[in-house]
Amino acid sequence: MQTKKHGYTFLELIRLEESEITALERLAGSYAIIQCEGKILLCYNRWREQWELPAGMREADETPKQCAIRELYEETGQHIKELLFVGVAKSENEENGEIKYNPIYYGDLKQLMPFTANEEIVRIFLWDMVEVIDIIDEVDFAILQSIFHII
């Protein structure tokens, strides 16, 4: 699988209770890992020219779960009501060594809603985690490997 770095190295998936994440220093934006028809939802980022998991930064007064739900909708047009907390991705900034923690949420969709390309995302795709795809974000791929134990 061809991956692309964007200044961060995935260090580990930390399993903990959702209530414990607020104690982590440098709590960053949230991921939404969505499964549909036994496959994982990916979106193609036109700026970074790669496949990614729906994710992004938290807005003011937004919980990590609300962030995951909003980012999923903004990037892919998918609505979901229930997300389960999976854990936290711990990553390191390769330039300055700063550590960040990204909450990860998981949900199931019965079917995908129609998608309309937007400023950032041009396509969505249900990936079986086996098929070779162009380029995927290295941290995102490492997260999927940690959760689903894929090669």
Task: Dig out the tokens for 135 from the structure.
Answer: 């380029």
Answer whether residue 151 shows pLDDT above 60.
no
Which structural domains are found in the chain, ordered by start?
3-148 (3.90.79.10)
- At 50-79, the pLDDT tens digits run 999 999 999 989 999 999 999 999 999 999
In this structure, the number of other CB atoms found within 10 A of the CB of residue 49 comes to 11
Answer whether residue 138 shows pLDDT above 60.
yes
Q: Among the listed ranges 4-8, 74-78, 120-124, which one has the minimum average pLDDT value?
A: 4-8
Residue with tokens 């028809």: 37
Q: What is the mean pLDDT of residues 2-15?
A: 94
- At 79-99, the pLDDT tens digits run 998 999 999 999 999 999 999
For residue 133, the model assigns a pLDDT of 92
Mean pLDDT, rounded, of the chain: 95
DSSP 67: H
- At 103-115, the pLDDT tens digits run 999 999 999 999 9
Tell me how far the alpha carbon of residue 8 is from its chain's centroid: 14
